[in-house]
Amino acid sequence: METRNDFNAQPEIPPYLPRQQMLPPEKLYARGVRREVSKVVLITGAYLIIQLVASGIIEAAIMFASGAFNDLMRDMTEMAQGGAAMDMDGLTASAQDSAYEMAGRHMGIVSAGSAAIGLLVFLALRGRRLFTTDITESRAPMSAPLLIKLWVIAMGAQLVFDVLANLLNAALGQAGFSATELMEQSMQMLQTPSGLVYICLIGPVIEELAFRGAVMKSLERFGMNLAIFISALLFGLMHMFTVQAVFAFFMGLILGYIAGRYSLKWSILVHIMINSAAMGISYLSAAGGTDATTGKSALSGLSFAILILFLVCGVALLIKERWRFAEQKTVGAPVRVSGSPERIGAALWGATFTSVPLIIYIVLMLGTGIITIIGMPWLMDIIAG
């Protein structure tokens, strides 16, 4: 097993920049980081597009093989021959139920298949290393107590996420909108055996390989801080649902720290633990049925108490272990190049956020998230009307 201790290693000059080029060091770094950030953003965008297209193809293939697609086409053909308008309300209930049931039953398979296909595009960044040395490489030893501490801190953030989601929903509810409705519908469709396997195992592995593996490792030579932040930003915005994006960004920072400080394999394991615990708490909340008076789950208070416990323990651990997380240093000047560390660090961050692909990615993802909150009710009204 390869072991390295370069979490605080100084950034290197990108190999595609002439080392003897007569430019100030900060400009050399700025040019290199802007090009690399643009590259990883474009590949991340390609990953999302491929995943979207692949999910449509896989879902259509499953529906076609199951006969649900044939039922829909038969009803639509009969409506067209009868001169009726193509209205979803006109389709037989059995055909609609069959299509929706089939989509929900196999959502886990669709999600896993499309994500796995999309992951292949990240081979452009890391090649075979993405599935070999990137996973096995260790930079510092990981102990079971430390692993549990990091997991508890991450789970404590789950409560903050839930509170923010409820507050935002209460505010948007006054205007007839919902910040989590589409996310909840997606999660309900994943409440199947294949969906649970995707959420608790396949999804975390693929997302860690993509963001803490390919994206983060491609940017590490410009400084670990920047690599962790950009990988977390791309990962958070990928979720689009505004509140979930904030939570995913925070999780990305924690998982990035684990991957950068220890190993990618440990960030994969912690991600699996986070998702599995979250699903367990979700099932616990729904296990007691619904109270006729309050309309809430009889065990929702217990699940909320568990999250509070995670939050209290997580905050306590952050305070106690703050020295460990403070070990990460600010980007410094490389040994081979003279220059002010502060100027080089500022140039790196400044160049990162002047990357045109990154700006476009941020705008598109935030815009899509806002549309899912504000625009979806209007769109559904138009479709229904």
What's the confidence (pLDDT) of residue 150? 85
Higher pLDDT, 79 or 34: 34
Residue 194 pLDDT: 83
Tokens matching residue 279: 């699903």
Residue 15 clears pLDDT 90, i.e. is over it: no
CB contact set of 323 (below 8 Å; sequence gap of 6+): none
Write down the pLDDT at residue 86: 46
Q: Measured between alpha carbons, how far is 235 from 211 in angstroms, rounded to an integer?
A: 7
pLDDT of amino acid 103: 59
Q: Is the pLDDT of residue 18 over 50?
A: no
Q: DSSP alpha helices (H): ranges in the chain? A: 25-66, 68-81, 93-105, 107-119, 123-126, 133-136, 144-173, 181-189, 193-197, 203-207, 216-219, 224-238, 242-261, 264-287, 300-320, 322-325, 341-352, 356-370, 376-384
| CB contact set of 201 (below 8 Å; sequence gap of 6+) | 272
Average pLDDT over residues 146-154: 85
Tokens at residue 141, please?
């030893």
pLDDT band at residue 360 under the 50/70/90 scheme: very high
Domain ranges of the chain: 25-66+106-384
Considering only residues 2 and 132, tell me which one the structure prediction assigns the higher pLDDT. 132
Confidence of residue 326 (pLDDT cuts 50, 70, 90): low
Distance CA 76, CA 96 (A): 11
pLDDT tens per residue, range 278-311: 888 777 766 655 444 444 555 556 666 666 777 6
pLDDT of 119 over the 80 cut? yes
* 3-state SS, residue 142: coil
pLDDT in tens, 242-254: 677 888 898 899 8
The more confidently predicted of residues 107 and 304 is 107
Biggest alpha carbon distance in the chain? Answer: 80
Does residue 318 or residue 149 have the better pLDDT?
A: 149
Residues 360-381, mean pLDDT to the nearest whole number: 74
Tokens 């791309």 sit on residue: 234
Task: State the pLDDT at residue 59.
Answer: 81
Q: How confident is the model at residue 154 (pLDDT cuts 50, 70, 90)?
A: confident
pTM: 0.78
pLDDT tens by residue, 200-231? 999 999 999 999 999 999 999 888 889 999 99
CA distances from 372 to 171, 247, 309, 354, 360 (A): 16, 17, 32, 27, 18
CA distance 225 to 207: 19
Q: What share of the chain is helix, strand, coil (3-state, %, to 5)?
A: 75, 0, 20
**Lowest mean per-residue pLDDT among 63-72, 265-274, 321-330, 344-353:** 321-330
Q: What is the mean pLDDT of the chain?
A: 74
Lowest mean pLDDT among 39-48, 78-87, 196-205, 341-350: 78-87
Higher pLDDT, 183 or 136: 136
Q: Given this model, what pLDDT does residue 188 score?
A: 65
Strands (E), the chain: none
Checking if the pLDDT of 68 tops 50, the result is yes
